[in-house]
Amino acid sequence: MNNIRSKTCKAIVISSGGSPGAFDIVRCLGMEGIKTTVASSHPHDIAFSSRHCGGRIILPPFRPAFDVSILKILEVYASRCEEQPVLYYASDSELSFVGRYRDELRQWFRFLLPENDVLQFLFNKVRFAEDAHRYNLPVPYTVRIRNIEELREHLTDKLFPCIVKPAFSQDWVWETNEQREKFGPYKTALRRFTTPDELYDFCKDLPLRPSGYLVQSYIDGRDESIVSFHGYFNERSDCVACFVGRKLRTYPAHTGGSTYIQTTYNPELARKSIDVLKQMKFQGVVKIDFKWDEYRGEFKMLEVNPRYNLWQVLGAYAGVNLAHIAYCHQRGEEVASPRSYANNTRFLYFKQDVRAYVNGYRKLKEWSMPKYLLSLVKWNHYRVFDVKDPIPFIVSTLGFLKRVATRIALRISPPKTVLRFGRNHNGIDRIPAIENVRQDWTGIKAQSRERLVG
């Protein structure tokens, strides 16, 4: 089957699907009248239904076993283009793919990434925490853990409260139903620990990974104390454009992805971020998360993320469209660097934000019902919903309702257990174990929950 059903465009975004990440980029470029080809592993990616989508390509999953197939599909597409398209990547798995095959992809596409050693330093959370001293980065106290025995050696009061993070987000794609039941989706697995017993109980069942994982001091404070720098840097590591934003709410609360964000001004933090990125010879698009440490009276750097994300849509509405700036720069066109941007521009991911309130902030009593409702009626821009491009919102809503209906139906009438009798190679009757059937059903429920959270 030919997976390529696309007119050629001057830009293409690759996506593993399961989130609106591709639509975020399509939307930013669409604001400037640019159509984008969407290449996604998800056959129902909402970006396909955008009026700014110039073509559709169905990709295999972004897993190492399918790398060659993805490369071939992208090569065939690029060979049909009159000029090299600008390449965008929507999440960590796609960034990792582009990083691994940058030499091959550069023959067909335009993109700008940091050099490999810098990319690996930023992409691997364990390495980032261990080598942060090279650039004088103000990261929280962190220890690397390879196994449960090492954890016991580091259980000191200095570590608490703390949070556990994987080296790579893909490290916490769970392999068994027991792991899914215990840890939940990736963002849910990020949580605050206050005692050695809590930490040990969590870590003892973590699957072993080559890079291990890190245990990092947790900086207490509301999500409004998380401020982020966003910028685009050219080949000389000069900052072409930037803006600063603030988180208002996340899902899950305190450890999850952004659900309600706004632009803010912080020239000093922007200057320090630019200096650090210049020092490490960074190139491309970037986001740096900081959190205000009330105890030490300074911002602590949580992570540096060298890829596109939903914040680019916020920036575009505020007057700094980093996706479009990257497009112009990589095509050798004149780049108009914005000198300022609109303060207090707000961006809401409504579905996830409601979950954040109901399951988190309401119980924590950080947002009262009146205060929460008041924040919703303020002038906001929305993720997924765009009055000028409404079809992706309709498709997303119908998909969400279908998943909810399926989940309710499964609760009301679980699938019946069917025993299929047969004979093994010795001619002896065999009956499938009921326990295996139970485990399969547990897996179905866990996967259903992960889809609903995503």
pLDDT in tens, 288-297: 999 999 988 9
**Position 447 pLDDT exceeds 80:** no
Q: Tell me: do 232 and 370 sit in the same domain.
A: yes
Determine which helix (DSSP H) or strand (DSSP E) holds 332, and give its type and residue range.
Answer: none
Least-confidence region, from 279-293, 317-331, 432-446: 432-446
Q: Are residues 164 and 268 in the same domain?
A: no
pLDDT in tens, 20-41: 999 999 999 999 999 999 999 9
Looking at the fold, whether 421 and 363 belong to one and the same domain comes out as no
List of residues 6+ apart from 198 with CB closer than 8 A: none
Residue 389, in any domain of the structure: no
Q: What is the CATH number of the domain that holds 182?
A: 3.30.1490
Nearest of 162, 220, 165 to residue 196 by alpha carbon: 162
- Give the count of domains, the chain: 4
Dist CA 117 CA 329 (whole Å): 23
In a domain, 334, yes or no: yes
The 10 Å Cβ neighbour count of residue 436 is 9
- The span from the CA of 257 to the CA of 109, in Å, is 30
Same domain, 286 and 336: yes
Query: pLDDT tens for residues 33-68?
Result: 999 999 999 999 999 999 999 999 999 999 999 999
pLDDT at residue 410, as a whole number? 87
The answer to whether residue 303 sits within a structural domain is yes
Higher pLDDT, 394 or 444: 394
Q: Are residues 378 and 230 in the same domain?
A: yes
Are 251 and 345 found together in one domain?
yes
Q: Is the pTM of this model over 0.85?
A: yes
What strand order describes the sheet that includes 36-40? 4-6, 53-58, 36-40, 11-15, 86-89
Residue 99 lies in a domain: yes
120 within a domain of the structure (yes/no): no
Q: Is residue 392 part of a domain?
A: no
In a domain, residue 128? The reply is no
Domain boundary among 164, 182, 217: 217
68 and 188 assigned to the same domain: no
- pLDDT tens digit sequence for 273-317: 999 999 999 999 999 999 999 988 999 999 999 999 999 999 999
Indicate which CATH number applies to the domain containing 34: 3.40.50.720
User: What domain range includes position 36?
Assistant: 4-111
Indicate if 11 and 101 belong to the same structural domain.
yes
Tell me, yes or no, whether 309 lies in a domain.
yes
CATH number at residue 309: 3.30.470.20
